[in-house]
């Protein structure tokens, strides 16, 4: 007996209902005419309640305006568009909240429906794909590419790129910019005496104190025990105040190896942008580095400003426990 195929329209309807990702049909006024698919509850809330409602009935006015503007641009241009947006169940009135929790990232592919005006209303097909996992992966890859794994600060490449961009902006705006280079004192002695694992723990401990005291400054690990601190729209006096606060934090909260405190101090050199000189990042880095070595030669635990002003050491006890050169 020959098998009879189901009517084509029934097959299409059944296939559309089974789609994992939702497909919406909306008219020019932003009304949901049809909803298909969206069966994956790990990625989407149930969408069937949307039919017959408009964007402005479901969303906050500003959000609905954005979606409606995109829809009408597709209709007017007769060309498809791809947009990414972030939403949560709370953004939709009447949502059943039976899907994923929290904000989700979505990619929308919006295409005009080409049909005779006498037969079908002017409308678009709006296909949605949950791309939250992709966004999380991209964010993690970005973090790995720009962050130092040990300290969580910007890595050298990312810090120098940020410095270059900040210098261009400061030069264009005639705004102040200050760079400090910090070097942990006696770090070689720590590594030699206690081993590299303890050295890494000391660096993490120091980094936490620096980040906590940064007061808006941007920090990066330039390599080893050397760090950069970038102060945008801040003058030298403000930068020196922050650096002294960082020193004080290190003094008050030393690293502990068991019950034994390991005093920490750093030497720092400060350089201020000289806009009239058309400086490059390498110029500012060289001057800050030169000031940092002046601080080292002054006995460690000092900060040397751009005018060679020497700020006093905050951690005098460091040289008692860690007296070897680093």
The catalytic position among 34, 225, 226, 279 is: 225
Q: Give 319's contacts (C-beta < 8 A, 6+ positions apart).
A: 186, 299, 300
Beta partners for residue 266, in sequence order: 184
| Three-state DSSP state, 228 | strand
Q: What one-character DSSP code corresponds to residue 312?
A: P
* In contact, 209 and 246? CB cutoff 8 Å: yes
* In contact, 113 and 87? CB cutoff 8 Å: no
Q: Give 295's contacts (C-beta < 8 A, 6+ positions apart).
A: 267, 268, 269, 302, 303, 304, 310
Rg (CA), the chain: 30
* In contact, 304 and 270? CB cutoff 8 Å: yes
Q: Per 3-state DSSP, what percentage of the chain is helix, strand, and coil (rounded to 5)?
A: 40, 25, 35
42 assigned to active site: no
* In contact, 81 and 70? CB cutoff 8 Å: yes
Structure tokens that stand for 104 in this block: 């989700």
**Which residues are designated catalytic?**
225
């Amino acid at each position: 007996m020959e098998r009879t195929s189901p009517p084509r329209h029934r097959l299409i309807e059944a296939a559309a209902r089974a789609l994992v990702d939702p497909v919406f049909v909306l008219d020019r006024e932003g009304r949901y005419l049809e909803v298909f698919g969206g069966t994956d509850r790990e990625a989407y809330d149930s969408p069937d309640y949307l039919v017959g409602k408009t964007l402005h009935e479901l969303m906050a006015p500003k959000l609905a305006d954005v979606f409606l503007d995109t829809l009408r641009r597709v209709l007017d241009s007769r060309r498809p568009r791809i947009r990414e947006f972030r939403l949560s169940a709370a953004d939709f009135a009447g949502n059943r909240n039976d899907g994923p929790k929290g904000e989700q990232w979505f990619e929308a592919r919006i295409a005009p429906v080409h049909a005779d005006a006498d037969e079908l209303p002017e409308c678009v097909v709006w296909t949605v794909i949950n791309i939250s996992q992709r966004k999380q992966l991209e964010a993690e890859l970005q973090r790995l590419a720009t962050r130092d794994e040990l300290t969580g600060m910007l890595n050298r490449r990312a810090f120098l790129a940020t410095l270059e961009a900040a210098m261009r902006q400061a030069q264009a705006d005639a705004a102040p910019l200050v760079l400090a280079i910090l070097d942990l004192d006696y770090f070689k002695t720590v590594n030699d005496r206690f081993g590299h694992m303890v050295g890494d723990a000391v660096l993490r401990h120091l980094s936490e104190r620096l980040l906590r005291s940064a007061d808006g400054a941007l920090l990066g690990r330039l390599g080893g025990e050397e760090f950069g601190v970038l102060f945008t729209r801040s003058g030298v006096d403000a930068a020196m105040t922050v650096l002294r606060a960082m020193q004080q934090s290190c003094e008050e909260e030393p690293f502990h190896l068991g019950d034994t405190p390991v005093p920490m101090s750093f030497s720092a050199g400060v350089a201020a942008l000289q806009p009239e000189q058309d400086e490059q990042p390498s110029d500012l880095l060289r001057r800050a580095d030169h000031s940092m070595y002046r601080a080292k030669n002054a006995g460690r635990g000092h900060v040397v400003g751009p005018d060679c002003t020497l700020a006093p050491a905050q951690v005098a006890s460091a040289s008692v426990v860690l007296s070897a050169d680093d």
